[in-house]
Amino acid sequence: SQQGEEDPQALSIQEGENATMNCSYKTSINNLQWYRQNSGRGLVHLILIRSNEREKHSGRLRVTLDTSKKSSSLLITASRAADTASYFCATDAYGNNRLAFGKGNQVVVIP
């Protein structure tokens, strides 16, 4: 079964609005990570949240993790046109020696 599976939706919002995307997974994890991919570029790491953490902030990013529901959310506040990208969650599961990436969420921020 696929780990790190985002809600398969594209999100189109106005600049200044908040963007929220979700990710669910199926097995126990060490940590969960979020990455951004701009068009034609490689993935860039945004934030890592460990299994014993519930919430983490980095600038305009807020990540939550609910291990009982096996889900995470990424909130981007006060979005900017430059936030237009695909966002991937990835899980580090025990003993897997790899990150399992989800399908990605396309976010378009309209100036």
Partner 1 sequence: DTAVSQTPKYLVTQMGNDKSIKCEQNLGHDTMYWYKQDSKKFLKIMFSYNNKELIINETVPNRFSPKSPDKAHLNLHINSLELGDSAVYFCASSQDSGRQQFFGPGTRLTVL
**Which residues of this chain interact with partner 1, rule CB under 8 A?**
30-31, 33, 35, 37, 40-45, 48, 86, 88, 92, 96-99, 101, 103-104
Write down the least CB distance from residue 44 to partner 1, Å.
7
Please give the C-alpha separations between residue 15 and each of 12, 27, 38, 89, 111, in angstroms, as whole numbers.
10, 36, 17, 23, 5
- Residue 15 or 30: which CB sits closer to partner 1? 30
Q: How many Å apart are CA 53 and CA 109, to the nearest integer?
A: 29
Write down the least CB distance from residue 33 to partner 1, Å.
6
Cβ neighbours, 10 Å, residue 53 = 14
- Residue 85 or 109: which CB sits closer to partner 1? 85
Write down the least CB distance from residue 32 to partner 1, Å.
11
Answer for the pair 13, 110: CB distance below 8 angstroms, yes or no.
Answer: yes
Residues 6+ apart with CB under 8 A from 26: 1, 2, 3, 70
Write down the least CB distance from residue 40 to partner 1, Å.
8
- Residue 27 or 96: which CB sits closer to partner 1? 96
- Residue 84 or 86: which CB sits closer to partner 1? 86
